[in-house]
Structure 1
Amino acid sequence: MTETALPQPSNASTSASGSRPVWQPVLLRALVTLAFGLTTVFWGNPGTVGLCVSVALYFLALAASHYWVLRTLDLPRGDSRRMAIAGAVGLLSVSAVVAAVSLSAVVTAWLAGAALAVMGAAELFAGMRKRTAGGGRPPLRGDWIISGALGLGTGLLLPFFAAAGPHAILGVMGGGAMMTGALWTLSALTLRHDGGKAKAA
């Protein structure tokens, strides 16, 4: 699924800036989303406090992984992809804090829906940029498009479950997280594999 499966310069699959490998922050994001998704599967009765705290922790970890991806890609400060994703990361962080202090399932559902939808839209925007400033393919382009569509869909769906209780809200979020986590795991493994081939060449 990742764009690194296509023919690119030898260092494109291993790093985006210097010697920093892209697969590491991508794998962190995959692990964060999969861990949250699995938690929602096995947590039978989270309650309102459990919902708010788990969503807050998830969003903070997700924001950190997105920030690491941006740092590793080393996009220019004026790059619109960087600005879009950085803005969505800020919304994730703010939503995490508000969800933790609100202790309201309805508020958390709406906040989480807005944050996931904005992040999904930002990833779609980043992925749909066909060329970078140097004329090459944007890093993670295909993954951003698929992940963005999943995030946007999950975010738009969440408000409809705001009154259904913590378990239902976590179920919707967890389903999206599992699919996104699987995507980014495949992406990280592909990046790592292509990086090994580039070093051996």
Structure 2
Amino acid sequence: MSETALPQSAAANMSVANTPLLWRAVLLRALVTLAFGLTTVFWGAPGTLGLCLALGAYLLAAAAAQYLSVRTLSLTRNDARRLVLLGAAGLLAVSGVVVAISASTLVAAVLGGAALAVMGGAELFSALYRPAGTAHAKSALGNDWLISGVLGLGTGILLPFFAAAGPHALMGVAGGGALMTGALWVLSALTLRHDGYTAKGQ
């Protein structure tokens, strides 16, 4: 999952001091994502209002967790990954507010799907992007962004196609993606925590 066995030059991109903050931020995102996923499993008849409130709250919470994760990484202000990820988090937050107050299944499907797809695309970009002059450097979350990006992009693309199927179907699609993504980020957080303590002991 998390890329912890990095060359010395690559490992320098993430300071040891930020490791405790990073794994906690990643764990927060995992818990937010899993909480939404489990809600969709046990909420049998959410209705349009329930769908919009739950999905809107999830988008807002995911945006906040993503923002916190990016801020704990040692990415410069001009780093394209930082700009893309924070921009996508901003879109996620705005979409969450609009979805929550819209009380519309169509808005939830289209706007929510678009926001998740953009976030997934941003994570894919960040996983594959290599800053000039650092061809071998990788972020501590590179592999996790790659998998999470594919899941987010897939979920976002699928959501609009289920708009006519109703709130329950939309919750199922969004929740399925959230459960898989949440499991990924739990493993990532635990790996970062373990490697942070290992680095301190060396």
- TM-score over 0.5 for the pair: yes
Q: Aligned-pair RMSD on alpha carbons?
A: 2.0
Verify: 1:47 aligned to 2:47, yes or no: yes
In the alignment, is the contact (CA less than 8 A) between 2:119 and 2:149 conserved in 1? yes
CA 1:18/1:195 → structure 2, altered by over 3 Å: closer, same or farther?
closer
Structure 2: distance between partners of 1:23 and 1:67? 14
Q: What does 1:65-104 correspond to in 2, within 5 Å?
A: 65-104=65-104
Counterpart check, 1:64 vs 2:76: no
| TM-score (structure 1 length as normaliser) | 0.93
CA distance in 2, matches of 1:115, 1:46: 21
Cα deviation for residue 129 of structure 1 reads: 1.4
Say whether the 8 Å CA contact 2:127–2:146 is kept in structure 1: yes
8 Å Cα contact 1:66-1:89 kept in structure 2: yes
User: Counterpart of 2:157?
Assistant: 156
Aligned to 1:136: 137
Matches of 1:65 and 1:87 in 2, distance apart?
Answer: 14
**Distance verdict in 2 for CA 1:170–1:107, change over 3 Å:** same
Give the letter aligned to residue 16 of structure 1.
M
Q: Which has the higher helix share?
A: 2
1:35 is matched with 35
CA contact (8 A) 1:131 1:138 kept: no
Cα distance, 1:158–1:198 mapped onto 2, change above 3 Å: same
Percentage of matched positions with identical amino acids: 61
The one-letter amino acid of 2:137's match is: G
The 8 Å contact of residues 120 and 151 in structure 2, kept in 1 or not, is answered as: yes
Q: Which amino acid aligns with 1:68?
A: L
Deviation at 1:17, TM superposition (A): 4.2
| Rounded Cα–Cα distance in structure 2 between residues aligned with 1:84 and 1:58 | 20
Match of 1:92, as an amino acid? L
TM-score, reference length from structure 2: 0.92
Q: Moved runs in structure 1, 4+ residues, more than 6 A?
A: none
Aligned length in residues: 199
> Which residue of 1 is the match for residue 147 of structure 2?
146
For 2:63, the aligned partner's letter is A
Partner deviation per Cα, 1:34-90 (whole Å, 9 max, x = no partner): 010000000001011100101111111101100101110031111110111111111
Offset at residue 108 of structure 1 (A): 0.7
